[in-house]
């Protein structure tokens, strides 16, 4: 199996780039952020406070009461929380914030570790997240770290949210991006950082198609079986 790990901060374009590269290569695309978002949604819906002080209740609820499943429909990842497709519900600002908070808890990261590793063990995958190259798949065949300037990332996130009908300002999104960058890079457990053997792609000045075609060609050149 070929495993490609893509990490990077919020709004760097990694999800859309990873999804499209996977489609062109016939790989499975795994969006691991959706798993943290789904855990956060589960807690919110069940009145479970997301805070480090409440970690044992959260851990117990995830182990005993949450069944998390992933399915691919027309190449699109769908996550099911106790049988319910939550894709439409996990992309709000509220869930983004809660996901960032819940992802700092070691027991939550541990809970999601096996799910992520077992998908990679059985499929050619492009998996995107924050700690894929450093923690989840340290032996990935290829590691990419995608980033861009915070202002550019905030603008991309803002355009996505507006397109989905959310009412928000660019300034609010920039505050959210900066806060999440801080949380993601400063947490004790599996902080966001570029793996030593990862290749850096800065998309500040590169558009989507250029990034995707460059990366797809690069992956194909690295793995002869794909040519």
- Contacts from 135-139 at CB under 8 Å and sequence distance 24+? 135/109, 135/190, 136/5, 136/32, 137/3, 137/5, 138/195, 139/3
Give the burial string for 142-160 (b: 16+ CB within 10 Å, else e): bbbbbbbebebbbbbbbee
For residue 224, the minimal CB distance to ligand DC (Å) is 29
For residue 227, the minimal CB distance to ligand DC (Å) is 30
| 130 near ligand DC (CB under 6 A) | yes
CA 207, CA 215: separation in Å to the nearest integer?
A: 12
Q: Which stretch binds ligand DC (CB under 6 A): 60-68, 74-82, 99-107, 165-173?
A: 99-107
For residue 47, the minimal CB distance to ligand DC (Å) is 21
Q: State which of residues 27, 43, 70, 129 lies at the interface with ligand DC (CB under 6 A).
A: 129
DSSP string, 173-215: HHHHHHHHHHHHHH-SSS-----TTPEEEE-SSS-HHHHHHHH
CA 195, CA 176: separation in Å to the nearest integer?
A: 25
> With CB under 6 A, what is the number of residues at the site for ligand DC?
14
Tokens matching residue 120: 């990679």
In the numeric block, the tokens 């609010």 are attached to: 172
| 79 near ligand DC (CB under 6 A) | no
x/- mask, ligand DC, residues 31-50, rule CB under 6 A, reads -xx--xx-------------
Q: Which stretch binds ligand DC (CB under 6 A): 70-78, 125-133, 163-171, 209-217?
A: 125-133
| 188-227: contacts with ligand DC (CB under 6 A) | none
| 147 near ligand DC (CB under 6 A) | no
* Residue 6 near residue 130 (C-beta atoms within 8 A): no
| 131 near ligand DC (CB under 6 A) | yes
| 184 near ligand DC (CB under 6 A) | yes
For residue 79, the minimal CB distance to ligand DC (Å) is 11
- Residues contributing to the site for ligand DC (CB under 6 A): 10, 32-33, 36-37, 99-100, 103, 129-132, 180, 184
């Amino acid at each position: 199996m070929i495993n490609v790990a893509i990490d990077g901060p919020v709004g760097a374009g990694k999800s859309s780039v990873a999804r499209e590269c996977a489609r062109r290569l016939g790989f499975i695309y795994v969006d691991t952020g959706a798993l943290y978002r789904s855990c956060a949604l589960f807690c919110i819906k069940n009145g479970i406070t997301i805070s480090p002080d409440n970690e044992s209740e959260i851990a117990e609820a995830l182990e005993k009461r949450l069944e998390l499943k992933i399915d691919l429909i027309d190449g699109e990842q769908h996550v099911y929380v106790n049988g319910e497709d939550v894709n439409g519900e996990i992309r709000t600002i509220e869930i983004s914030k809660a996901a960032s908070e819940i992802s700092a808890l070691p027991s939550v990261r541990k809970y999601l570790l096996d799910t992520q590793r077992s998908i990679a063990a059985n499929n050619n995958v492009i998996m995107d997240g924050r700690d894929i190259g450093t923690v989840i798949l340290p032996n990935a065949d290829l590691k990419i770290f995608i980033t861009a300037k915070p202002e550019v990332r905030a603008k991309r996130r803002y355009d996505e949210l507006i397109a989905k009908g959310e009412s928000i300002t660019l300034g609010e999104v920039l505050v959210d991006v900066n806060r999440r960058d801080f949380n993601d890079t400063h947490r004790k457990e599996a902080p966001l950082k570029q793996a030593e053997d990862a290749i850096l792609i800065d998309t500040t000045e590169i558009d989507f198609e250029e990034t995707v075609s460059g990366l797809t060609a690069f992956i194909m050149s690295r793995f002869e079986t794909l040519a």
